[in-house]
């Protein structure tokens, strides 16, 4: 199953973000910070790449259950798509809710909540490993006879719907607030205020939260992020930080029973104390967001490099099925190296400026190796060379500015 509705929506995602950024600048609402937004988008880009490898497991398990244990054979007719969408949304609610209420599962979802801003770029901040922990929640659909194609398509539509609700520019929406997930409802979900924690898990229909007791109306404006911020622009570390935290918790858990509680109790459980840490109170008046300052030239450089990364990654995601696993793995490693160095550059790390030159050379060589066998590949390789040389010159000037050479 190679069709991915998300790929069709990506250009519209960026168009919508462009409109929101323009409005943000026009109204001076300060909804976007470049370091945060690029980190969000880098997390999303790398998640799509990692997903190429993980879907072998996640979709493979679903297909195996459907092929061997399905009770019915649901046809592809209009009503079955409607039923599939509603069932998927119900499964999503429970997968999402458990991703907040089980510490191990939270490690696969926390990435999406780490941003301390709330704008459309946050919608694309996705975890690499969440699909591993949430995949079992959709298996009831396989048992009922909804095939993998239906799962992927309705799942993609569900995720596309959730994109637009990540905004502060849309207030309450009247009667829709009663049964649809809206920006107001989802702002609550991203809030770290104690009253907002673990509320409004809906994907499309807020009725599940109203039905199962997890609904919270938006009252004061939320403070966004997680209760223990990672204070980093590194999207790779963002995906592993909570696993390290769990590892430390397991070391401090004296018995097997305590270790299991660390894994399957809610986040915040302390095995040594046999109690939950209290959720710290927070308000917008006393909370200082994580931020780092670099020169505008570094910001512009990283933005330009991210645009190049996007231009290169989009066709890779479209045609990756035609590549071997060696080529896929090489590209995935280079993308991972690229996005992690973006984070280090934003943090002003000395080694990031030195590493950047090697990254540019290695990426250019790898790109030429992959492109030259293609029809017209020599021209594409030449274009890569031009951009690589231009980037190296820009990098050298940045080095001079930071007195690193």
Q: What is the pLDDT of residues 217-263, one digit of tens each?
A: 999 999 999 999 999 999 999 999 999 999 999 998 989 999 999 99
pLDDT at 233: 97
* Calpha distance 79→81 (Å, rounded): 5
pLDDT at 226: 96
pLDDT at 239: 97
For the chain, give the percent of residues with pLDDT over 70.
98
Selected residue with higher pLDDT from 196 and 2: 196
pLDDT at 2: 57
| Mean residue pLDDT across the chain | 93
List of long-range contacts for 89-93, beta carbons under 8 Å, 24+ apart? 89/158, 89/202, 89/203, 89/204, 89/205, 89/208, 90/208, 91/137, 91/138, 91/140, 91/141, 92/137, 92/155, 92/158, 92/203, 93/201, 93/202, 93/203, 93/208, 93/209, 93/212
Whether 324 shows a pLDDT value over 60: the answer reads: yes
pLDDT, tens digit (0-9, with 9 covering 90-100), for 133-159: 999 999 999 999 999 999 999 999 999
Q: Band the pLDDT of 405: cuts 50, 70, 90.
A: very low
Whether 108 shows a pLDDT value over 90: the answer reads: yes
Q: What is the DSSP letter of 222?
A: P
- Average pLDDT on 364-387 reads 90
Which segment, 328-342, 372-386, 387-401, is predicted with the most confidence on average?
A: 328-342
| Sign, Cα dihedral of 288, 290, 292, 297 | negative
């Amino acid at each position: 199953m190679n069709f991915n509705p998300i790929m069709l929506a990506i250009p519209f995602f960026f168009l919508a973000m462009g409109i929101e950024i323009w409005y943000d600048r026009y109204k001076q609402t300060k909804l976007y910070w470049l370091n945060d937004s690029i980190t969000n988008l880098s997390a999303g880009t790398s998640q799509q790449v990692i997903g190429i490898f993980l879907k072998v497991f996640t979709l493979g398990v679903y297909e195996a259950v459907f092929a061997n244990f399905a009770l019915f054979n649901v046809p592809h007719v209009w009503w079955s798509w409607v039923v599939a969408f509603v069932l998927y949304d119900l499964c999503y609610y429970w997968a999402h809710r458990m991703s907040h209420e089980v510490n191990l599962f939270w490690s696969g979802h926390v990435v999406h909540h780490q941003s301390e801003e709330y704008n459309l770029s946050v919608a694309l901040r996705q975890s690499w490993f969440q699909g591993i922990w949430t995949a079992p929640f959709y298996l009831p659909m396989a048992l009922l006879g909804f095939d993998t194609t239906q799962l992927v398509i309705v799942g993609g539509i569900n995720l596309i719907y959730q994109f637009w609700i990540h905004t502060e520019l849309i207030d309450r929406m009247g009667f829709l607030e009663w049964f649809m997930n809206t920006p107001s409802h989802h702002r609550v979900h991203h809030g770290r205020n104690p009253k907002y924690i673990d509320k409004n898990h809906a994907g499309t229909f807020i009725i599940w939260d109203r039905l199962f007791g997890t609904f919270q109306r938006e009252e004061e404006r939320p403070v966004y992020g997680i209760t223990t911020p990672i204070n980093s622009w590194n999207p790779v570390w963002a995906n592993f930080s909570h696993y390290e935290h769990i590892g430390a918790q397991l070391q401090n858990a004296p018995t097997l029973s305590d270790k299991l509680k660390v894994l399957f109790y809610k986040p915040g459980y302390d095995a040594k104390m046999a109690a939950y840490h209290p959720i710290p109170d927070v308000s917008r008046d006393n909370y200082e967001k994580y931020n780092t300052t670099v020169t505008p030239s570094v910001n512009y450089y990283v933005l330009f490099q991210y645009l190049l990364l996007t231009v290169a990654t989009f066709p890779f995601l479209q045609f990756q099925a035609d590549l071997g696993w060696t080529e896929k793995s090489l590209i995935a490693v280079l993308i991972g190296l690229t996005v992690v160095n973006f984070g280090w550059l934003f943090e002003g790390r000395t080694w990031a400026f030195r590493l950047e030159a090697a990254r540019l050379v290695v990426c250019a060589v790898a790109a030429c190796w992959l492109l030259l066998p293609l029809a017209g590949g020599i021209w594409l390789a030449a274009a890569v060379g031009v951009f690589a040389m231009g980037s190296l010159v820009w990098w050298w000037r940045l080095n001079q500015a930071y007195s690193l050479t």
